[in-house]
A and B are shown apart, each in its own frame.
Chain A
Amino acid sequence: MSLAPLPHAPAARAGFVRGFLSVPSAAIALAVFVAMSAAAFLAPWIAPQDPYDLMQVDIMDNLLRPGERAWSGMTHWLGTDGQGRDMLSAMLYGLRISLIVGILSGLIALAIGTLVGLVAAFRGGWVDAVLMRIVDLQLSFPTILVALILLVILGRGVDKIIIALVVVQWAYFARTVRGVALVESARDYVEAARGLRLGSLRILFLHVLPNCLPTMLVVATIQMAQAISLEATLSFLGVGLPPTRPSLGLLIANGFNYLQSGRWWISVLPGVVLLVLIVSVNVLGDRMRDVLNPHLGR
Chain B
Amino acid sequence: MIRLGLALLAAAFLAAAPAAAQTVLTIGVRSEAASLDPHWTQLSADLQVQEHIFEHLVDLDPASQPVPGLAVSWQPLDATTWEFRLRPGVTWHDGAPFTADDVIFSFDRLAAGIAGAPASPAFTLAKGGKRWVKIDDLTVHVLTNGPYPTVAEDLAMVPIVAAHVARGVTPSVDFNSGKAAVGTGPFMFEEFSPGNRISVVRNPNWWGGDPGWDRVVFRPVGQDAARLAALLNGDVDIIDYPPTVDLPQLEANPDFRVSTIPSDRLIYVILGNKSREPFVTDNAGNVLFPSPLRDWRVRKAMSLAIDRNAIRDRIMGGASEPTRNIVPPGFFGYVDDLQPDAFNPDEARRLLAAAGYPDGFRVTFQGPNDRYINDARIVETIAQMWTRVGIRTEVDTMPRNIFFSELIRGGPETFPGFDMPKFSVALTGWGTVAGEATYTVSGILETYNAATGGGNGNFGRYSNVLIDALSIRAKQTIDRTERLALLQQATRLGMEDYAFIPIHFQVNKWAMKASLEHTPRTNERTLAWEVRRVR
A and B touch in the complex (CB under 8 A): yes
**Do A258 and B245 have beta carbons less than 8 Å apart?**
yes
B224 close to chain A: CB less than 8 A: yes
From B245, B310, B395, A59 is in contact (CB under 8 Å) with: B310
- A59 vs B383: C-alpha distance in the bound complex, in angstroms? 11
B376 close to chain A: CB less than 8 A: yes
- Given the known interface contacts A257-B243, A260-B246, the answer about A244 and B225 at a Cβ–Cβ threshold of 8 Å is no
Of all chain A residues, the one with the shortest Cβ separation from B401 is A152
B396 close to chain A: CB less than 8 A: yes
From B225, B248, B381, B402, A256 is in contact (CB under 8 Å) with: B225
A160 close to chain B: CB less than 8 A: no
Which of chain B's residues have a CB closer than 8 A to the CB of A59?
307, 310-311, 314-315, 381, 384-385
Of all chain A residues, the one with the shortest Cβ separation from B380 is A83
Which of chain A's residues have a CB closer than 8 A to the CB of B380?
54, 83, 243-244
**Do B228 and A54 have beta carbons less than 8 Å apart?**
no
- Given the known interface contacts A259-B225, A261-B246, the answer about A243 and B376 at a Cβ–Cβ threshold of 8 Å is yes
- A186 vs B475: C-alpha distance in the bound complex, in angstroms? 86
Of all chain B residues, the one with the shortest Cβ separation from A266 is B245
| Contact count band on B | 20 to 34
Of all chain A residues, the one with the shortest Cβ separation from B243 is A257
- Given the known interface contacts A59-B310, A59-B314, A82-B245, the answer about A243 and B369 at a Cβ–Cβ threshold of 8 Å is yes
- A244 vs B364: C-alpha distance in the bound complex, in angstroms? 13
Query: Which residues between 203 and 242 of chain B lie within 8 Å of chain A, taking CB atoms?
Result: 224-225, 228-229, 232
**Do A261 and B384 have beta carbons less than 8 Å apart?**
no
- Residue with the greatest number of chain A CB neighbours at <10 A, chosen from B224, B248, B249, B384: B384
A238 close to chain B: CB less than 8 A: yes
From A155, A242, A260, B402 is in contact (CB under 8 Å) with: A155
A14 close to chain B: CB less than 8 A: no
- A254 vs B380: C-alpha distance in the bound complex, in angstroms? 14
- A119 vs B129: C-alpha distance in the bound complex, in angstroms? 70
**Do A55 and B229 have beta carbons less than 8 Å apart?**
no
A217 close to chain B: CB less than 8 A: no
**Do A257 and B397 have beta carbons less than 8 Å apart?**
no
- A260 vs B223: C-alpha distance in the bound complex, in angstroms? 13
Smallest Cβ distance from B230 to chain A, in angstroms?
12
**Do B314 and A242 have beta carbons less than 8 Å apart?**
no
B393 close to chain A: CB less than 8 A: yes
- A281 vs B490: C-alpha distance in the bound complex, in angstroms? 63
- Given the known interface contacts A55-B387, A60-B310, A243-B376, the answer about A260 and B381 at a Cβ–Cβ threshold of 8 Å is no
Query: Which residues between 52 and 95 of chain A lie within 8 Å of chain B, taking CB atoms?
Result: 54-55, 57-60, 62-63, 82-84
- A262 vs B252: C-alpha distance in the bound complex, in angstroms? 14
**Do B395 and A55 have beta carbons less than 8 Å apart?**
no
- A55 vs B314: C-alpha distance in the bound complex, in angstroms? 18
Of all chain A residues, the one with the shortest Cβ separation from B384 is A54
Of all chain A residues, the one with the shortest Cβ separation from B228 is A260
- A60 vs B384: C-alpha distance in the bound complex, in angstroms? 11
Of all chain B residues, the one with the shortest Cβ separation from A256 is B225
**Do A54 and B393 have beta carbons less than 8 Å apart?**
yes
**Do A244 and B402 have beta carbons less than 8 Å apart?**
no
- A155 vs B406: C-alpha distance in the bound complex, in angstroms? 14
- Given the known interface contacts A59-B310, A244-B395, the answer about A257 and B387 at a Cβ–Cβ threshold of 8 Å is no
From A83, A243, A257, B245 is in contact (CB under 8 Å) with: A257
B532 close to chain A: CB less than 8 A: no
Query: Which residues between 223 and 237 of chain A lie within 8 Å of chain B, taking CB atoms?
Result: none
Which of chain A's residues have a CB closer than 8 A to the CB of B249?
260-262
Query: Which residues between 137 and 194 of chain A lie within 8 Å of chain B, taking CB atoms?
Result: 155-156
Which of chain B's residues have a CB closer than 8 A to the CB of A82?
245, 315, 377
B473 close to chain A: CB less than 8 A: no
Which of chain B's residues have a CB closer than 8 A to the CB of A60?
310, 314
B370 close to chain A: CB less than 8 A: yes
**Do B384 and A58 have beta carbons less than 8 Å apart?**
yes
Query: Which residues between 25 and 57 of chain A lie within 8 Å of chain B, taking CB atoms?
Result: 54-55, 57
- A57 vs B315: C-alpha distance in the bound complex, in angstroms? 14
- A238 vs B369: C-alpha distance in the bound complex, in angstroms? 9
**Do A62 and B398 have beta carbons less than 8 Å apart?**
no
Which of chain A's residues have a CB closer than 8 A to the CB of B385?
59
- A263 vs B245: C-alpha distance in the bound complex, in angstroms? 10
B179 close to chain A: CB less than 8 A: no
**Do A242 and B399 have beta carbons less than 8 Å apart?**
no
**Do B243 and A243 have beta carbons less than 8 Å apart?**
no
Of all chain B residues, the one with the shortest Cβ separation from A53 is B387
Contacts A244-B395, A257-B243, A260-B249 aside, 18 further interface pairs with beta carbons under 8 A come to A54-B387, A54-B395, A60-B310, A62-B314, A83-B381, A84-B384, A155-B398, A156-B398, A238-B370, A243-B397, A244-B380, A257-B224, A257-B245, A258-B245, A260-B232, A261-B246, A261-B249, A263-B245
4 closest A-B pairs by CB: A54-B387, A54-B384, A261-B246, A59-B381
Can you offer 24 A-B residue contacts whose CB atoms are under 8 A?
A: A54-B380, A54-B392, A54-B393, A55-B388, A57-B384, A59-B310, A59-B381, A63-B314, A82-B315, A83-B381, A83-B384, A84-B314, A84-B384, A156-B398, A242-B396, A258-B245, A260-B229, A260-B232, A260-B243, A260-B249, A261-B245, A261-B248, A261-B249, A263-B245
